[in-house]
Structure 1
Amino acid sequence: MTIHSYEGDLPDGLDLGPVVAVDTETLGLSLVRDALCVVQLSSGDGNAHIVRLNRPAYDCPNLKALLADPKVEKLFHFARFDVAMCKHYLGIEVGPIFCTKIASKLVRTYTDRHGLKDLVKELVGVELNKQQQSSDWGAAQLSDAQLAYAASDVLYLHAAKTRLVEMLKREGRHEIAQACFEFLPVRADLDLMGWSESDIFSHA
């Protein structure tokens, strides 16, 4: 595994292929309070590319172009949060999207454990170290431990997706999963507009 770390933006000419695993690191879990600090990516080749963003300018044209490229599928775990963060801070509409958390909930109905750690352990056979999950991602320099943690969040998503697609097709739920993925930008908009906790589809 090689971790490539960048300041501000991805380098010119970097080609990560047609499916790119993506994750974000933020100062917290509030879309309106906590800043987007880091975006990490992987093409599924065992290497990770980590961008420490230039706040508050967020001047990262190469990263923005990749995340918004309609010809490149973006692979997330819990895309709802990451897509909203990217829209709020980078001003882009991320897509197309595949979310391993949604796929997991649609087919791994035999468990209530849909976090990345449990998903990767079962489907890929890798035990993730989550010790750096709560750390200062706004620091001027990321530690080696932070870089390794950020990389681990994207390195195994391609393998997990392969297994999940097999399960979705087996259970006849691939089309409904795709419809959910396509709805995610709208779900992110609702979160940003203040409807994160309210289910507007419910009767009450």
Structure 2
Amino acid sequence: MSNFSMTPHSFSIFDGDLDIESADCFTKASAIAVDTEAMGLIHGRDRLCLVQICDSDDNVACVRIGVGQKTAPRLKTLLEKSTIEKVFHFARFDVAALGSGLGIEVNPIFCTKVASKIGRTYSPRHGLKEVIMELVGVELDKKSQSSDWGRVEELTTDQLAYASNDVRYLLKAKIKLEDMLKRENRWELTQRCFKCIPVMAELDKLRFTQVFEH
């Protein structure tokens, strides 16, 4: 088991958008980890509730998204900035949620789930909990995964800890996966897959299914 701290280096909660100081801090990073929480899995029906961000210095920010909110200018600028790699686990969902909820077109993208499926072909288990446990040595507590994220002003300590931990270890996992993919000569293919994610997310937003099936 790894000796990572149970608490991040810094942890901030914002309503509606990042503040100027945090936005400037994250903008200096070459890569940031990103995750979202929503009321459900159907974009357009189930609203975006929370956006979590973490940088390589273990600074975590959670942005609470209000009912009816359609924009978050600082988040949009950050997540669309082409010089900052955005690292997700199952980016397809988060990219669609950010697009549907806040009109954000995320770019560029690294997805640890896609990378795991192409790199870790020795394992059938590609969930965040399993990937982080193997590659980073941290066991994530997922008990708050299915909970009411809409009560953003009253989120529990367990919910906030869960949201924080879902981004804190992604950058370390990303490094391990990238090394593995390059070693196995699968890195170029994986990068091409990442470029398909915005298209898949757009299809999900419009509720197209099995487009590529016979």
Query: What TM-score, normalized to structure 2?
Result: 0.90
Q: Which residue of 2 aligns with 1:117?
A: 129
Q: Which runs of 4+ in 1 moved over 6 A?
A: none
Letter in 2 for 1:132: S
Q: Which residue of 2 aligns with 1:41?
A: 53
CA deviations on 1:9-54 (whole Å, 9 max, x unpaired) are: 1011322212010000000111232110000000022231101112
1:160 equivalent among 160, 169, 173 = 173
Q: Which residue of 2 aligns with 1:201?
A: 212
Residue 187 of structure 1 deviates from its aligned partner by: 0.9
Q: Which residue of 2 aligns with 1:25?
A: 37
SS in 2 for 1:39: strand
SS in 1 for 2:21: coil
- Number of aligned pairs? 201
SS in 1 for 2:144: coil
Tell me the distance in 2 between the aligned counterparts of 1:38 and 1:181.
23
Whether 1:11 aligns to 2:13 is no
Tell me the distance in 2 between the aligned counterparts of 1:42 and 1:116.
16
SS in 2 for 1:44: coil
CA deviations on 1:152-182 (whole Å, 9 max, x unpaired) are: 0000001000100010001111111111111
Letter in 2 for 1:70: S
Pairing 1:1-204 to 2, within 5 Å after superposition: 1=8, 2-14=10-22, 15-16=25-26, 17-139=29-151, 140-195=153-208, 197-198=209-210, 200-202=211-213, 204=214
Residue 69 of structure 1 deviates from its aligned partner by: 1.0
The answer to whether the 8 A contact 2:70-2:103 is kept is: no
Query: What TM-score, normalized to structure 1?
Result: 0.95
**126-135 vs 28-37, greater mean Cα deviation:** 28-37
CA deviations on 1:119-145 (whole Å, 9 max, x unpaired) are: 000000000000110111010322211
The answer to whether the 8 A contact 1:8-1:58 is kept is: no
SS in 1 for 2:154: coil
Tell me the distance in 2 between the aligned counterparts of 1:32 and 1:62.
22
SS in 1 for 2:56: coil
Residue 58 of structure 1 deviates from its aligned partner by: 3.2
Tell me the distance in 2 between the aligned counterparts of 1:29 and 1:35.
9
Structure 2 unmatched ranges of 5 or more: 1-7
Residue 110 of structure 1 deviates from its aligned partner by: 1.0
Instruction: Tell me how large the CA RMSD over aligned residues is.
Output: 1.1
